[in-house]
Amino acid sequence: MKPAGDPQMNRAIPRTSVPAVKRWQSREEIRKEYLDSLSPDALREIEPSYYWLKFGLPAWQRECARKYDPSQPRVPAGNSDGGQWTSSNESTVQRIVEMAKRLNLAARPDAYQRCLDLCYRLLERPQSPGSDRNTWDFHKCMNACLGRNL
Amino acid sequence: MDIELAREVVRTAFRSSAELQALLPVLKQRCSAEEYKSYALGIAAAIDAIGLGLTNRALAAHPGLADEIESSVERQGRF
């Protein structure tokens, strides 16, 4: 018989960790949970479209929600484009269209609504009577956002 | 469709869209923010439907038209 202090007799019962039972999750939910756990930089690298959806779109919407800036440069009155926003506005449009491309929402079930939400503000810009600028930019934005190839 | 007719289709689509857009400032002035947004999205959807049904079709038939529209809008604000 071995003495009571024999380590072999007093072996600790190994604790087996029983994983907590999680509710059933769809593949999409698991993927979303994983993506949400990533840092912004990692997310941008792994899933750029989700990154823009999570961070880019709200930032852009906040930017658009800011009050219209009357000091924004305009084409002087008397020109055919009088009163229209100038180059700084063009870069905003470029940014929106680029963002629409990056979002690549075409595969999402709510794609159409999200794209409308992203692009409709282009129609709100003040423009001179008869100008097609807003329509054309909005058209490009929707095509880019929905991945419509022409 | 010949290119001249395609141009006419795009111009008509733009005119209809402009008319719908003209409603936006009026709605913004006279509706609540929530009601305005709902109408604005409705107008945007209508303009997109016009674009899809007319402009995109004309551009598909004459792809060079896109650059023509772009430079015309850039130069004189309209097509």
A134 and B21 in contact by Cβ < 8 A?
yes
Contact A130, B19 (CB under 8 A): no
Query: B54 is in which domain, residue-wise?
Result: 3-67
Q: Is residue B74 in some structural domain?
A: no
**Scanning every residue of chain B, which has its alpha carbon at the shortest distance from the alpha carbon of A84?**
B77
Q: Is residue A53 in some structural domain?
A: yes
Is the ipTM higher than 0.90? The answer is yes
Q: Which of A81, A124, A128 is facing B24, going by the closest CB pair?
A: A124
User: pLDDT band at B42, cuts 50/70/90?
Assistant: very high
**What is A71-105 written as a DSSP string?**
TS-BPPBTBTTTT-B-HHHHHHHHHHHHHHHHH-G
Q: pLDDT tens, A84-124? A: 444 445 666 777 777 776 666 556 667 888 889 989 999 99
- Comparison of pLDDT for A84 and B40, the residue scoring more: B40
pLDDT for the residue B63 = 93
Q: In sequence order, which ranges of chain A are alpha helices (DSSP H)?
A: 27-37, 40-46, 48-51, 57-65, 87-103, 111-119, 133-145
Q: Is residue A16 in some structural domain?
A: no
Query: A99 is in which domain, residue-wise?
Result: 28-65+87-145
Q: Is residue A22 in some structural domain?
A: no
Q: Is residue B75 in some structural domain?
A: no
Half-sphere exposure of B4 (CA within 13 A, CB side): 0
Q: Provide the shortest C-alpha distance from residue B66 to chain A (in Å).
A: 9
Q: pLDDT tens, B2-38? A: 999 999 999 999 999 999 999 999 999 999 999 999 9
In chain B, how many domains are there?
1
In chain A, how many domains are there?
1
- Average pLDDT in chain A: 71
- Comparison of pLDDT for A73 and A93, the residue scoring more: A93
Percent of chain B clearing pLDDT 70 (strictly above): 100
Q: Is residue A33 in some structural domain?
A: yes
The Cα A8–Cα A11 span in angstroms is 6
Q: Is residue B53 in some structural domain?
A: yes
